[in-house]
Chain A
Amino acid sequence: MTNEKNGLVSPSFGSHLSAAYIHDVKNLLSLLMSKAESNHDLESIHHLMAADYKLNHLLFLYKSEADMLTLNIEPISPNSFLHIVAANYQSFTLKSIEVELGDDSAMAYIDKGLVELCIGNAIHNAERYAQNSIRLSAREENGMTVLRVRDDGPGFSDEVLSNSGKSILSSSSSSGLGFYLASKIAERHVNKDVHGYLKLLNEEGAVFDMYFP
């Protein structure tokens, strides 16, 4: 099955065995997902999404190590982007995911696939600590777009705050790895020499802010 499916990404990567394996695993996850959805089995969906994140992390790390990660920046509406991400997670969590709508005509310039991965991961993380709700919002700050995920839990630990995704070495936990990737992905967004970045803070709960130029 995998043999006839080569030549998709860059030739060097597409021919790589691991890409083909990941592809097949994703197809299997996809099947499990539709079964879990038909049975309204939220817990399984949860685990499936978590497995998918792990796979994507692996893929991202692999590509960025091999210097094969190119971003596809396109203009998007933050409102509809957050709305879509929230609707997806709301479907399998009992906690409430709310979107604070901003200016409807605002535009952000991001790689929506990669950023969805980061925001999704942040929600996944927030969900473990939130008491009731997770709030998503977008705003503009000094010419940059900020996408925020905030929960009403106890906030990040000091260790997470001081690292803030800067180092992969101290990120033994899976959430640490997620922050590291988010920080890398934000950084890869560049406009006129201004780079994006990740900021973690505590403010009546944990706040995850991704800045994009």
Chain B
Amino acid sequence: MIKNKDKTVLIIDDMQVARASLQITMSNLEFGKIRTVATVKEAMEAIAKMDYDVILCDYYMGGSADGQQFLEFIRSKNVIKSSTIFVMVTAEQGYTQVIVAAECAPDDYLLKPFTGAAINARLERLFERNELFADLFKLYDKKNYADAIEACDEIIKGKSQFRIDALRLKGECLLLSKEPLKAIEHFQQILQSREIPWARLGLAKAYADNGDMGKAESVTRSVLRDNPKYMAAHDFLARLLAKLNKKRESLAVLENAARLSVKSVTRQRSIGTLALELGDVNKSETAMMAVIERNKNSPMKEPSDYAILSNIHLEKNEASKALELLKDARDSFKDIFGLDAVALSSAEALVFKRTGNDQAAMKALNNAIEGLQGMENLPETLSLSLAKACLENNKPEQGFNLMKNLLQTNPDDKAKQALVQEAMLKSGVNQTDIDNLIASSIKEVMQINNKGVLLARDGEYEAAGKLLKSAANRVPTNQQFVSNATAILLADLEKNGLDFSKLADAKMYLASLKDLNPSHQKLPTLIETLQRIENLHSLTLQDVSND
């Protein structure tokens, strides 16, 4: 227990008696500094002030939040380091079902009642792991995945009892560093000796990153057949289907998962957003209200949730409800930045307008537009709400432009056209203007692409590159723009020799194309061309140094 002296512990439990008894247990184990808190809010403040070695958290935190949600929140926001040991404490045997199903598991858990020795033995083991993983965790937190993978390999070779943890972390690093082929090999190797759900799901993710969506889907479905309660697999399947633009199927998967498991806020949020995109206002309302209710009085609440629900209220012609909600949001959030700020201001612009406060509406809209500077990839629901705010607040040009960008993300998407059409009608635009916008937006995509290709064919790479780059920057989710921008930049590099800024641009567009659609048919050729250019480049460097 000598080791415990220089370790710090944070205890989170809403019940005073339980908190006190945990504190006694931990001080009997001679931990150096022990801090106890009762709420998520206090816990967040404590974590912000200093790094704790150990966090002991009761699964029940009082109110509507739970320990699992808190864990997912602090891990996803990188509030704690990988080396911070998080142990969940619960009186509920069923908790084991929660962690195994979750994407984000605590380092260990303890079922009440337990002895001090039980917790000490677990922590001792985790401290031992942390010593072995010290460098690895640092590399991982710095997102230096290449070196982290090497560090994993060292541990895997060393035959330690933590081998399995290193294998799992290596798989995660391979996925994060976008090395799908190596990841496929890694997971297949693990699966050879034994069926492990996380390895099977990892394999599915690697297939998806490699562009093999069919295999990714069938592997994920097989994981779910064997482990129907594996929530991470449900959520991944839903994301996969949404990416394939099968939104209705994706929503069905999420709803099924929500029925099977405890309520996950993230999942409810996805249900709310997808349902809204599919025009199912009532379903979306139920989900978003659940999200907001659950995060009420918790630092885990998000401003954009309020913005979305406000738009739903407006859809249902309940402007006063929306007004109240946004007032509530302004009262409860102190500092709002980035997309959250744009979302909230844009929701306000619509609500103020509809409740007759034109001046406040215009002010909110200007805030939203100002906040937009330098933002890329607006979420679809936000684009739509901002566009409507512009249309209704007498900024038709901006409104039309936003709608155009939305239409151009995928010119073949009829559902999106219907969504835009309905929104514009409600915002008072006449049918002819809407029809014209839809037709011209679709036509423009074709025109820009054709013009770019023709310019490049005539050797006008500079002009072609400029045209496609600006199109790809304006609509970063249009695959045709992005793939043509990449192709033209690469052709330019091949024809006219090396230019570092063009090479960097080409790589960036290629990466985002991979991200948009890993199975895009032009990807293999583009990757091959890039490699050819890079090889040629390193060859010339070698020639120079040899001289």
Contacts and interface: CB of A to CB of B under 8 A. Distances in A.
Contacts of A10: 94, 97, 260
A32 B161 contact: no
B541 interface: no
A75 B121 contact: no
A14 B293 CA distance: 20
Interface in A6-43: 7-11, 13-14, 19, 22-24, 26-27, 29-35, 37-38
A87 B120 contact: yes
Contacts of A132: none
Nearest to B263: A7
Interface stretch (A76-84, A171-179, A193-201): A76-84
B262 A37 contact: no
B113 A33 contact: yes
Given A30-B113, A31-B17, A34-B24, A84 B96 contact: no
Given A29-B113, A104-B160, A105-B160, A8 B28 contact: no
Interface residues of A, number: 52
A157 interface: no
A44 to B, nearest CB: 11
A109 B262 CA distance: 26
A132 B56 CA distance: 35
A37 B18 contact: no
Nearest to A89: B117
Given A83-B125, A87-B121, A105 B92 contact: no
B481 to A, nearest CB: 45
Given A31-B18, A45-B115, A38 B28 contact: yes
B30 to A, nearest CB: 14
B195 A191 contact: yes
A160 interface: no
Contacts of B300: none
B196 interface: yes
A37 B111 contact: no
Contacts of B259: 11
Contacts, number: 126
* Most chain B beta-carbon neighbours within 10 Å: one of A19, A38, A72: A72
A52 interface: yes
A5 B60 contact: yes
A48 interface: yes
Contacts of B334: none
B111 A113 contact: yes
Contacts of B63: 4
A90 interface: yes
A75 B100 CA distance: 12
Contacts of A191: 194-195
Contact of A38 (B24, B114, B160): B24
A87 B113 CA distance: 15
Contacts of B92: 8-9, 19, 23, 26
Given A7-B263, A48-B113, A104-B159, A87 B118 contact: yes
B25 interface: yes
Contacts of A90: 117
A144 interface: no
Contact of A29 (B112, B160, B164, B194): B112
Contacts of B93: 22, 56, 59, 113
Nearest to B158: A105
Interface in A155-186: none
Contacts of B194: 75, 109, 191
Contacts of A34: 21-22, 24-25
Interface of A: 4-5, 7-11, 13-14, 19, 22-24, 26-27, 29-35, 37-38, 45, 48-49, 52, 56, 59, 70, 72, 74-77, 79-80, 83-84, 87-88, 90-92, 104-105, 107, 109, 111, 113, 191
Given A52-B113, A56-B93, A105-B159, 14 more contacts: A10-B260, A30-B21, A31-B18, A34-B24, A48-B113, A59-B93, A72-B96, A72-B97, A74-B196, A77-B161, A88-B115, A91-B116, A104-B160, A104-B161
